[in-house]
Every structure is written in structure tokens, then in C-alpha cells.
Amino acid sequence: MASPSDHADRADRADRTDRAVRAPLTERVEELLAGDGPLPIVAAGDPALRRGTEPFDGQLEPALLARFIEALRVTMHAAPGVGLAAPQVGVELRIAVIEDPAPVPEEVRLARGRVPQPFRVLVNPWYEPVGTARAAFFEGCLSVPGWQAVVARHSQVRLRAQDEAGRAVDEVFTGWPARIVQHETDHLDGMLYLDRAELRSLSSNQAMAERWAQPTPDAAAAALGFPLPMP
């Protein structure tokens, strides 16, 4: 049986070890934030996108976390995009941000269920499908610039997470917001949208603008020969 002093020594050593393990991550985030403007987004092929993430449990002090979240927001806006996950800037923490002003025509809004989403911080998110309905649409990724592909995803998901202040999030997302949640959470698990895509649908941004700008991918499916989920 250990003496109280032994317990204190072990606790002190564990605390020092924990700080030593966390220091490189803190230093990397500080280095990222030292520059001006948006953070650099890593592209497909970078191992940072495939390693997955560790749950956030205070690795960044509150002030540094707030600065990192603001940098993710600035970077997402500048790209521009509607979501950004920490691995996309080379940080292996289970944190993502989303925001979608949804500046789309009414026919697109109705077809895709794309409605405005306020800025949200998702800490340690995970989701589960609600029902069995799936919807397929073209989507892209800031880490795969210049390309889009059709991905069939759950039409509705239940998200559980925390926000930046540690408050619990338990919310159901539908339509395009559900797609954003799934896309960003996949990033935290080391997945890219291409892992789930119909690869025959893969199209350059130019082809998208010239051929497949319709609200749904039905015409692309018929012309390129890939299946769509049954309604």
C-alpha cells in the first residue's frame, strides 16, 4: 500500500508527463495561429486527413481554444466553405465548425433541403441516422479542390456533441444541414467524402458549371451511369 507522499509523487509525475505529451499539440496550434489571415488547408494525400482525431478534453487552454475556433471560422469563410474540421488544418482534435448562409435559388432549397445554418462549433461530435431515408447530391470538399462527386447520405441524423463552452448538444438535422454534419464528422474519423462517393459521378468544377448545375443529380446519373438511392 502506497503512502500519501507516494500518491502525490505519482500524481505530480503524471501531471508532468501529461503536460509534456500535450505540449507539441499546443505548440503546433500556436505556430498555426502566429501567421496572419486564414490557415493553410491540407489537401488529399496528407496523412493528417487519414489519421483520425483524439477527443478534445482540454488539450488547448480556453483562450487558445477560442483563438483556434475563430481561425477555423475565418478560414472556412475565406475558402469559402460551409464547414471545416480541425484535421483539415493539420490538427488532430475532434473539433469542427459549420455555417451555411444558404444563398441558393428556391428550387435548389426545396430539392436539397438547404436552409441557413448559423455558425456552430462541434466538439467531440458523433451522429446516428434517424430513419432509413437517404438522399444523393453532388458535394465537394475544401481538401479536394476542383472536384465534386455524388454522395448518398442519411436524410436525417441525430447529432450529439458539445459546443465550445462544453454544453451538451443533442439535435436532429435534416436535409443539407444533415449532410454538412455527416461530412465534417467523417473528417474527424479520417474519412473523405470520396470514400462514400459514386466515383463515376466525379466531375470537375468546370463540368459541374457547364453540365450538372441542376438542383438534383438525376441527369448526371443517367449520362454518367451511376445509381441513385430509391426514394
Check 99, 139, 184, 198 and give the catalytic one.
184
Q: What is the biggest distance separating any 2 CA atoms in the chain, rounded to whole angstroms?
A: 75
Quote the CA–CA distance of 153 and 156 in Å, as a whole number. Answer: 9
Sheet harboring 147-154: ordered strands across? 134-140, 147-154, 197-204
Helix 4-33 and helix 62-78, axial crossing angle in degrees, nearest 10: 30
Q: Which residue has the cell 469559402?
A: 80
Q: Does the annotation count 184 as an active-site position?
A: yes
The set of catalytic residues is 184
